[in-house]
Structure 1
């Protein structure tokens, strides 16, 4: 009941902003889906409804100051998620000001450090290594946070970026700070990053990323974390992550095209045994993706997260048909495959799921 009340309040807020900001051409994105899930462990067949609503009010794409306010709320009747605060509804609320010698960004938004759709060791701001993701979403990593950043250009393809993150504890000493350097060497992008923040104790994170093209686009990243209070070689080794990927889109005759992506995440000092794996110490993960579009309005996708060391996987297959402008019909089926104790398995919290629904952007 509380979840429905909060959802209703979110819709009212969104509608109010729509009226208030009508002159700013707000964009509404609404996904309505029917959920059917089957749990092998309990042999329960469940059915419910889900919704994802996003209302964006972007500023005009001109001038020295731009910004956006976006509210977002989701609801799943099978797995209700309580809304703890207004911050859970505010997805984005930021401004970008262009000064003669630097760029200022302030508010709640997302900075993209490193490269990778699912696995990105260079993303030390938010972390892009978790396998607890919804593979049916177009954007697999979309976490935003409050921040202030300054971007200082050093040429056409080089800049330095500093970022300040407000403390979660309201104590000034727990404030987070980061620095990123970005440049090009020939046709290769080079990026280095540093972040210090409080994570139940202050940690220092370092990352490096490379990106280029050899026919397919390729990208590589690596990062480590050092605990300030008790730094030791064992913890640093366990924090070391390496990610990489290849992406290629092939255009065929007519309107057909096919895109292929393969990403890898490795923890060199993780568990390399051919046995059941845990997410925190899994030494090797793969993310293959195949998208085929026979026409400009129809596409089929196949995504999976593979854990080769325990031979378990999470697979999602989907289809999207753009029927009218801004309106699409979507279908997805997802299921884990693995034995008890594996990274992906049929336990009491896992289920095969079928989703049928519609997406409307206006």
Structure 2
């Protein structure tokens, strides 16, 4: 299977390289290598090394039509996984903008927690806190975007069905207005595979302090819709601001939260259904080449957290040194604890890693 995927990836690379010979097209490759130590499932220490590669081709030959194909490869000690990360075309027609292919749409507001993201459900705590973006998953879709002014628009989307022919497709729409300088967004999605109705509303404002607030719920096709709206209510909120420090330094402060009013508020219950989670972030950039950050996911219900610090230094054009360290704080059985083995798609209970990235 790995050999087959490797052949496909090499073929795609040759094709994209050939296409890149045309004018106004761009081909970029990013390689990210990391090595370090981490806590294993038996609470021991392990040494690991891994590489990530992102090959991306963008077409910019026509100002009204944009296209992108992106292939990601994760090379580990045991296997190599390839993923067609993006493959879409976006065309600006006289009446509307059309997008088709595998991509990601940003509904609602929020960097870590976003209740308004009814398309991709940005509520889980199993994310990689070392990434530039915390949530990047895409899906196959078609959307129509209709502009109603400088800051107002309507958008309709259709998502492909699930893995079986019996699954229904998902679809919905949203409306975005900006009365009084406040972004007001409301929308709805019918999730065909789950058979759920997902309404949401989102507000976002700025000024001296940037803020956002989103609310969403889930209604299944059974009796008691009003009770379900209350039972499945999700709220996300956040504050963000960028400050200039000195001549060339900048300081970013962010705090976000996810609130489930009917969730669990007692320690010892299912930690994935707790009523409150928080996400603080501090990022300092002394100049345009260096960056240091602190991020954490905090579970106030059981008083546990996962803390991550990291840094990057762009020494040469395209070449950047990287370093990260993380540790969980909490008792056994808490959401974050040194005594718990973390899920496979998230960070271990403690780790230290260093490496580099190169874009060419």
TM-score, structure 2 normalization:
0.91
SS in 2 for 1:315: strand
Find the aligned partners of 1:257 and 1:241 in 2 and give their Cα distance. 33
Match of 2:238 in 1: 245
Deviation at 1:289, TM superposition (A): 0.2
Runs of 4+ in 1 over 6 A off after TM superposition: none
Match of 2:119 in 1: 125
**Residues 1:207 and 2:205 aligned together:** no
What are the residue-to-residue correspondences of 1:252-331 with 2, within 5 Å? 252-273=245-266, 275-331=267-323
**Residues 1:36 and 2:29 aligned together:** no
Match of 2:94 in 1: 100
Deviation at 1:135, TM superposition (A): 0.0
Match of 1:156 in 2: 150
**Cα pair 1:113 1:122 within 8 Å, conserved:** yes
Match of 1:60 in 2: 60
SS in 2 for 1:196: strand
TM-score, structure 1 normalization:
0.91
Task: Note closer, same or farther for the CA distance 1:151–1:204 as it changes in structure 2 (3 Å cut).
Answer: same
SS in 1 for 2:352: strand
Structure 2 unmatched runs, 5+? 343-347
What are the residue-to-residue correspondences of 1:322-341 with 2, within 5 Å? 322-341=314-333
Deviation at 1:172, TM superposition (A): 7.1
Find the aligned partners of 1:113 and 1:81 in 2 and give their Cα distance. 34
Pairing partner for 1:19 from 17, 20, 25 = 17
Greater Cα shift, 350-359 or 157-166: 350-359
Q: Residues 92-123 of structure 1, C-alpha deviation per residue, up to 9 Å, x if partnerless?
A: 11111111111111111110001111000000
Match of 2:336 in 1: 344
Deviation at 1:10, TM superposition (A): 6.2
Task: Note closer, same or farther for the CA distance 1:230–1:168 as it changes in structure 2 (3 Å cut).
Answer: farther
Pairing partner for 2:351 from 349, 353, 359 = 353
Match of 1:221 in 2: 214
Find the aligned partners of 1:13 and 1:231 in 2 and give their Cα distance. 53
Deviation at 1:29, TM superposition (A): 1.4
**Cα pair 1:277 1:343 within 8 Å, conserved:** no
Structure 1 unmatched runs, 5+? none
Deviation at 1:276, TM superposition (A): 3.2
Find the aligned partners of 2:246 and 2:263 in 1 and give their Cα distance. 45
